[in-house]
Structure 1
């Protein structure tokens, strides 16, 4: 059974839309759904896709985390093996060379929130709710929650959210600096596509190197960061798209980037 839909959208099909579609379980991911997400992202990594939208078919729930009903019947060994699958899924989203935009409405809890944190940007509806309630279940976030949340909202706020397990409104998440856009529910997809198109219209390799630069240099001593920055800059210099970008500027036309 397909729990995840995959479409190519945009004028040239360079935007991928991944839709979580297990509404009867509030899009909680079981092993099969996680495997489908993982395989789709692995396929996108070697494709000509330039931007990914990760969204949900259910406006009431983006993703409620791991399916605890499935886990309830597992042995300790099976639980740990399944979590390795989940870790691989999260890491594959995070490490994708193309930017990933989470398009969030409804509840995004536990592993569902961590899925979002492994994305590069977040467009959320005002009706969205975020939370890492793992401490209320005797565990802690294991897919990036404690590691990634502080990058978005700062250490003090991150400690509060993960140690209380509180539910966070979209407005509070926006005030904390987590979101790129906070919008009405009925316009969320349209605004996310506009953002994706603005990214997709740029040189793919330049965008991908920018993503790597921001990720790798965050919090790094400036002396070390300079070396990485110039290395990534030089990668862009040695591309056909750099030549096309300069030529298009001189000729006063829209550049036609090829990703080479």
Structure 2
């Protein structure tokens, strides 16, 4: 079953729109959905597309992160194997030669927010809600949350968001400097396409080299930072708190963490 689709749009069909389409689960991604995203990104990266938009078929939720029902009762080994696939998915978004624009309405939480952070630009509705609630489930962001959020907003603010797991409104995200454009929900798609068209109208090789240069020159390289981040992430997997956090989510109750 296709949970992700893509199509060419725009005046010269130079824009690729990737649509997350698992609305019944708020676009929570499973292994199957991650494989679909990975495959689509790899296909687009090899194409003559000039700019990419990632959108949702559900205005109430961009993506709520990894499907914890699928992850419930996974062994440590199974969890790590699946997470390697998720890492490949996140990296395939960030590594596309074309600039990628996240178009966000509704919830972008946990891995869903990390999909957004792995994009180059963010256009969001004032009804959007962002958050990295992993600490409330006994784990930490493992797809770029700590590495990328602190590159977009002030470090002290990034620490607050990841250490509290708070929900952040579109307006607060914009004040923090996270967004490129904040708009009304009704105007979201129009504003996003307008931005994408501006990028697509420029020389594609120049644009691609601009993106690569900014990424490479901003402090630690992505490859170095990815290795450091995943080491910290893996420390959280083999813990009682991780098992309790996922189980409590599935059972719809407040988790009881013991620090083990």
By the TM > 0.5 criterion, same fold? yes
Deviation string 1:184-206 (CA, Å, 9 cap, x unpaired) is: 00110011001000000000000
2-structure distance, mates of 1:215, 1:157: 22
Which structure 1 residue ranges, 5 or more long, are not aligned? 221-260
2-structure distance, mates of 1:99, 1:141: 23
Secondary structure of the 1:212 match is: helix
Query: 1:94: Cα distance to partner?
Result: 0.6
Aligned counterpart, 2:78? 78
Deviation string 1:157-187 (CA, Å, 9 cap, x unpaired) is: 0000000000001000000000000000011
2-structure distance, mates of 1:200, 1:179: 20
Aligned counterpart, 1:246? none
Aligned counterpart, 2:185? 185
Query: 1:11: Cα distance to partner?
Result: 1.9
Deviation string 1:206-237 (CA, Å, 9 cap, x unpaired) is: 000000111111237xxxxxxxxxxxxxxxxx
RMSD, matched Cα:
0.8
2-structure distance, mates of 1:120, 1:40: 17
Query: 1:76: Cα distance to partner?
Result: 2.0
1:15-164 alignment runs, 5 A limit: 15-164=15-164
1-structure distance, mates of 2:31, 2:9: 27
Secondary structure of the 1:42 match is: helix
Normalising by structure 2, what TM-score? 0.83
2-structure distance, mates of 1:98, 1:69: 33
211-220 vs 175-184, greater mean Cα deviation: 211-220
Query: 1:140: Cα distance to partner?
Result: 0.2
2-structure distance, mates of 1:72, 1:163: 23
Secondary structure of the 2:65 match is: coil
Aligned counterpart, 1:256? none
1-structure distance, mates of 2:82, 2:145: 18
Deviation string 1:84-139 (CA, Å, 9 cap, x unpaired) is: 00000001111110000000000000000000000000000000000000000000
2-structure distance, mates of 1:103, 1:81: 29
Secondary structure of the 2:42 match is: helix
Aligned counterpart, 2:245? none
1-structure distance, mates of 2:82, 2:73: 12
Which structure 2 residue ranges, 5 or more long, are not aligned? 221-260
2-structure distance, mates of 1:6, 1:71: 27
Normalising by structure 1, what TM-score? 0.83
Structure whose alpha-carbon radius of gyration is higher? 1
